[in-house]
Structure 1
Amino acid sequence: MLSEKVSKSTKSQKPSKYQHIGIFFMLLTCVCYSANSILAKVIVVGAAQIGLFRVCVMYLFVIPVLLRHGVHGVDDVLGPTHIRKILILRGFSGSLSGLTFYLAVKHASPGLATSIAFLDVVLVPIFGRIILKEALTPLDIVFAGVTFSGVVLIARPPFLFPSAEGDTENLTGILYAIASAVLGSFSYLLLRKIGNCVNPLVPTFYFTSVSLVLYSAIIVVTGEFEFPCLTQVGYLCLIALCGFFGMIFLTIALHTERPSTISVINTLQIVIVLLVQILFLHDMPPKLSIVGSCLIFSTSICLGIRKIVNERRSRAQNTPTDSVKAPVL
């Protein structure tokens, strides 16, 4: 009887054949989002038009899925009354973050724009401390300093680097990328504030709805709409599909793998975009910009490793044999 219980427990503890399938889906996510950045550089239409086409395609998928999950009232679609303002703010911050990122790719190289966009990994703890009164560790401050140093090396402002060639277009793209990172950080904090109050599809519904209105208004006001040629339509369809499937693959990855592991793999976007930019677009960034990208990449990796270590220590604290509380980094 005892041997049967032992054999049953060992079978239940045997790792699944698809235990790390989330890593595979996260790699697909990196490929999709990296392709999104490269295609945004190749397409000749404006940033708002790219964003509008993308959210229109997302609408075709989000609405049927939202309805399929069951709609029993207005609150199921719009969310509870007390968090609707937060959902609207999340929609605005997310749509503006996407728009400024596309503008950054238009004005600067995709690799540098993607690198600076990863500023959000250090901005989230800082804004979390200011807005949500969350704890901020000394390591967060160190990582923030290293990341901002990387941004300075990428931007190479004239007052710090007099010998650097002035490139107004590149500097404009870098400023757009910083704005995208700041707005993206607010989106993450707002999603954290929303928590599990609503179905995960509801914030996506708000994002697509606000983006649809905002991008349409920008196109009407600026008059930047232009009819794309057949090749450009194909690129726009690829951007929309890459954005949608990247979101799907990321959701699957988060359901099957720890968020800390996901955050580490996500940084591969920087490497992928830089390699594609150099090998296929034949655009070699300056050496200082590459060093700055490496600093941001290493910071993101270190933050992900810290999350993994903290998760393991947290699991160790929950075991009955533990008597000493492990410190959180």
Structure 2
Amino acid sequence: MNYPNRKEKCSEKCSKVVGFTFALLAAFSWALCGLLFKYVKDAGADELLLARSLLQFIVTLPLLTYRKENLFQDDLKTNLLIMIRGASSVLGNWFFYSSIKFAPLGDAVSVTNSYVTLVGLIACICLKESCSVIEALLSILTFVGLVLVASPSFLFGNMESESADNMMAGILLAFASALCSTASIIVLRYLGSGIHFSITMLHFSWVGVVYSLALFASKGTLQIPCMDDLLLILLIAVVGLLAQIFMIISLQKEKAGQVVVVQSTQIIFALILQLVFLGYSPTLTSLIGSLIIFFSSVVLTLKKIRGSRPNTQKEKADRDSNN
């Protein structure tokens, strides 16, 4: 008599394991993209963005055609929000890869992942979502972590002027990436689940192509990277696309809150990868700051999961009583 319940529980556990595994793969893939970009010598974020956008366009267009989805919606406001989401994602990617050229990989990834706590603050202002005292304290703690990672010379005074300038430029670019990621998530929350992911991905693609070509036009140069850089850029584009696919699968199998917790491990992966492959060990203040950001992200997400659990338990109890 209990076999259906056992099968249902087993299916739920399998779904959680699959969701957790793909979320972990996505986090590792994003960190790996940053590591690979460290080995690119002459090419920059412009070339990488163009390659990533073209590849994503080639992959997403057949999916959009197969599902018979409309690229543009009937509502003008919805179209505008989708394009804003695409633009913010494009800028977020460009800022992140630009930051890696100036700051260490672990620091850039840590600052970029501060978007987890930034989303709560912006959502409180723009979407009128509730913001508890704990969320406010964790946001302050994240800011402290950002300061420790940046280690500005006027506070710590332990770096040469050129190194301090490069570090600050990298941290500011990474923080700009975090702000763009925050805007992207806020727009997605506002749009809800009615828009298929292939639509937003295709908007990202064409906006990315237009933006990267505009950058090339403003510089007056469109140079094809050398063979080594070209192969690395194509590899990064493929791994980045796989990371996005892994994230989509994980969100289909597991709740967004749990996925965000696992996604935060990208900070740990980045610190390990830069130590093993780049031979760079972070300073004590930078390591403490990264761990603070990681801790704040995990605690904040776990709090949101716990806050939504009673409703889930109540729905389960009601379903059991109906049966």
TM-score by length of 1: 0.90
d(CA) in 2 for partners of 1:276, 1:319? 42
Count of aligned pairs:
312
Q: Percent identity?
A: 29
Q: Where does residue 52 of structure 2 map in the other structure? A: 54
Does 1:195 pair with 2:192? yes
Q: 1:10 to 1:88 in 2, by over 3 A?
A: closer
Q: Which amino acid aligns with 1:276?
A: L
- Deviations 1:45-102 (CA, angstroms, capped at 9, x unpaired): 011111111111111101111101124xxxx111233311111111211111111111
Which contiguous aligned blocks of 4+ residues in structure 1 show a shift greater than 3 angstroms? 7-14, 162-166, 317-321
1:14 Cα deviation after fit: 4.0
Query: Which aligned pairs between 1:221-236 and structure 2 lie closer than 5 A?
Result: 221-223=218-220, 225-236=222-233
Q: Give 1 or 2: higher helix fraction.
A: 2
Mean alpha-carbon deviation: is it higher for 109-118 or for 20-29? 20-29
Quote the residue 1:108 is aligned against: 103
Report the more deviating stretch, 151-160 or 112-121: 151-160
Relative distance call for 1:14 and 1:319 in structure 2 (3 A) is closer
- Alpha-carbon deviation of 1:121? 0.6
Aligned counterpart, 1:3: none
SS of the residue aligned with 1:198?
coil
Q: Which blocks of at least 5 consecutive residues in structure 1 are unaligned?
A: 1-5, 322-329
Is 1:140–2:138 an aligned residue pair? no
Q: Does 1:290 align with 2:284?
A: no
Residue pair 1:46, 1:224 contacting (<8 A) in 2 also: no
Distance 1:27 1:124, change over 3 A: same
Q: Considering only aligned residues, what root-mean-square deviation do their CA atoms show, in Å?
A: 1.7
- Residue 165 (structure 1) shift: 4.2
Equivalent pair of 1:79/1:198 in contact (CA under 8 Å): no
Q: Could you tell me how far apart the structure 2 residues matched to 1:230 and 1:86 are?
A: 38
The Cα of 1:124 is off from its aligned counterpart by: 0.7
Is the Cα–Cα contact under 8 Å of residues 56 and 201 in structure 2 kept in the other structure?
Answer: no
Deviates more, 1:219-228 or 1:8-17: 8-17
1:295-315 per-position Cα deviation (integer Å, ceiling 9, x unaligned):
001111112322332232222
Distance verdict in 2 for CA 1:281–1:224, change over 3 Å: farther
* SS of aligned partner of 1:107: coil
Of structures 1 and 2, the larger Rg is shown by: 1
| Distance across 1 between alignment mates of 2:56 and 2:101 | 22
Which residue identity is paired with 1:60? I
Aligned pair 1:18/2:41, yes or no? no
Give the alignment's TM-score, normalised by structure 2. 0.91
- Whichever residue aligns with residue 106 of structure 1, its letter is K
User: How many Å separate the matches in 1 of 2:63 and 2:306?
Assistant: 36
Runs (5+) with no aligned partner, structure 2: 319-323
Distance in 2, matches of 1:205 and 1:224, equals 26
